[in-house]
Amino acid sequence: MSKRFFGTDGIRGRVGQEPMTAEFVMKLGWAAGKVLGKQQKGHVIIGKDTRISGYIFEAALEAGLAAAGLDVTLMGPMPTPAVAYMTQAHRATAGIVISASHNPYYDDGVKFFNGDGFKLPDSVEHAIEDMMDQPMQMVESKKLGKVYRMEDARGRYIEFCKNSIQFRTSLKGMKIVLDCAHGATYHVAPSVFRELGAEVYELGVSPNGLNINKDCGALHPQNMRALVLEHQADLGIAFDGDGDRVMLMDATGEVMDGDEILYVIAKSQIVSSGLGGGVVGTLMSNLGLEHALKAQGIPFERANVGDRHVMEKLISCGWFIGGESSGHIITLNQTTTGDGIIAALQVLEWMVVQDMTLAEARKGMQKYPQVMVNVPMAQKINIDDYPGIQQAVIAAEKELADTGRVLLRPSGTEPLIRVMVEGQDANLVESLAHQIADSVKAATS
């Protein structure tokens, strides 16, 4: 059953427009409180990123939850994975993050974690949506929730991150450029890496409520190239606005995306440390990752796009490591959700233990050329209903054989068909992508 408000990662939209209005978010807080606090007097932890609308939505959620009878603890600006961790550590009923992740400042969103630090299951999200249809009624005065502020959140999360690698691992002598996207990691990440001994050069650590993700961070990792080269840094690390994504850059200015980060972590933990299991990627993960993992004897599975689907596949397989090309990396042996700082630390630990550079750490994986063509549609369609499209795909797959792959995927947010082709031959990939896109246009016109 489809959901009215919740998407693949909570609720998100343009500030001031449904669903991201103060009225809606207050009602959402109340509805979530009624559903989540049914069994006992509940306690919810709220964190947010640095966008200006966070002040409004924090107050709205606080009011709605308290009206439903739940106590609230405010963390202030903190990375999304910090909220997941603190929710678990405090044995809270739930955690809520006010963030639109990598989106611009004029968007915002609300995402939830259960008491174990995992995203809410579909059944609970449906229950919250159903409760939104009920009239909002406050509990009696003596049962209203109270609101507290967590004063030591920053320090506790810094220690959690540092403890995700071996105690004696030191980054002393290493030069690192950090781009915090003027987002939630701005006052956390520099301390983590400095306290581990690194020399840190900062970017994107001056949030003003309007500059989150603007030409910086994981969406624009090239922004730190000049600083990496100027300071002859060992690597650059770029986070997105809420800190659950990360991109890396080696000493030559070459960007390393989520697929390559997954490869390095898998080599480190599955092959060398004996963690066992395999790796979960998505339908968009580069074929080069799949082939490189196979060469290392590491099983690989693909999930639908979105960290929720990656998590579901990890749990069903009993594995620990998964993620997306965008840099959303999950290491279930350490965290319950994607964590940019911890993912970066896993790579750095491997570099230190093996005494190698970042460029050397990712050797063994060759990304294949990948071309994406978006074909606009007048309305959403079912690709399977068009034999001409299927024939074009079959012909392309036959030409690529086992050196490439084809993926047609309807956009989840707009009337588009995304045509993706990847393979070893860049010219062939480009040609086939446009051939299939032309077939989609012809078949649907």
Class assignment of domain 171-254? alpha beta
Instruction: Specify whether the CB–CB gap between 270 and 293 falls below 8 A.
Output: no
Domain with CATH 3.30.310.50 in the chain: 370-444
Structure tokens at 92: 């809270």
Greater model confidence, 199 or 276: 199
Instruction: List, in sequence order, every beta strand (DSSP E) within 233-354.
Output: 235-239, 246-250, 255-256, 279-282, 300-303, 321-323, 329-331
pLDDT of 404 > 90? The answer is yes
Instruction: Compute the average pLDDT of residues 193-215.
Output: 98
The Cβ of residue 17 has, within 10 Å, a number of other Cβ atoms equal to 11
Domain with CATH 3.40.120.10 in the chain: 11-151, 171-254, 257-361
Lateral strand order in the sheet of 370-376: 370-376, 416-423, 404-410
What pLDDT, on a 0 to 100 scale, did the predictor assign at position 274? 84
The Cβ of residue 342 has, within 10 Å, a number of other Cβ atoms equal to 24
What pLDDT, on a 0 to 100 scale, did the predictor assign at position 234? 98
* CA 400 – CA 423 distance, rounded (Å): 7
Instruction: List residues with catalytic annotation.
Output: 101
Percentage, residues of the chain above pLDDT 70: 98
Confidence of residue 264 (pLDDT cuts 50, 70, 90): very high
Mean pLDDT over all residues of the chain? Answer: 95
Amino acid at 258: G
Using alpha carbons, select from 363, 403, 97 the residue that is nearest to residue 242: 97
Confidence of residue 409 (pLDDT cuts 50, 70, 90): confident
What pLDDT, on a 0 to 100 scale, did the predictor assign at position 400? 94
Q: pLDDT by residue (tens digit) across 34-82?
A: 999 875 668 999 999 999 999 999 999 999 999 999 999 999 999 999 9
Superfamily of domain 257-361: Alpha-D-Glucose-1,6-Bisphosphate, subunit A, domain 3 (3.40.120.10)
What pLDDT, on a 0 to 100 scale, did the predictor assign at position 39? 58
Q: pTM value?
A: 0.93
Q: pLDDT by residue (tens digit) across 137-191?
A: 999 999 999 999 999 999 999 999 999 999 999 999 999 999 999 999 999 999 9
Q: pLDDT by residue (tens digit) across 418-444?
A: 999 999 999 999 999 999 999 999 888
DSSP state of 271: I
What pLDDT, on a 0 to 100 scale, did the predictor assign at position 289? 97
pLDDT of 384 > 90? The answer is no
Say what the alpha-carbon torsion angle 262, 266, 268, 270 is, to the nearest 10 degrees: 160
What pLDDT, on a 0 to 100 scale, did the predictor assign at position 337? 96
pLDDT of 381 > 90? The answer is no
Confidence of residue 120 (pLDDT cuts 50, 70, 90): very high
DSSP 329-378: EEETTT-SS--HHHHHHHHHHHHHHHT--HHHHTTT--PPPEEEEEEE-S
What pLDDT, on a 0 to 100 scale, did the predictor assign at position 272? 82
- Cα R_g (the chain), whole angstroms: 22
What pLDDT, on a 0 to 100 scale, did the predictor assign at position 311? 95
pLDDT of 203 > 80? The answer is yes
Q: Which fold has domain 11-151?
A: Alpha-D-Glucose-1,6-Bisphosphate; Chain A, domain 3 (3.40.120)
Using alpha carbons, select from 248, 102, 251 the residue that is nearest to residue 178: 248
Which listed CATH number (3.40.720.10, 3.40.50.300, 3.30.310.50, 3.30.43.10) goes with 370-444? 3.30.310.50
Instruction: Compute the average pLDDT of residues 78-102.
Output: 97
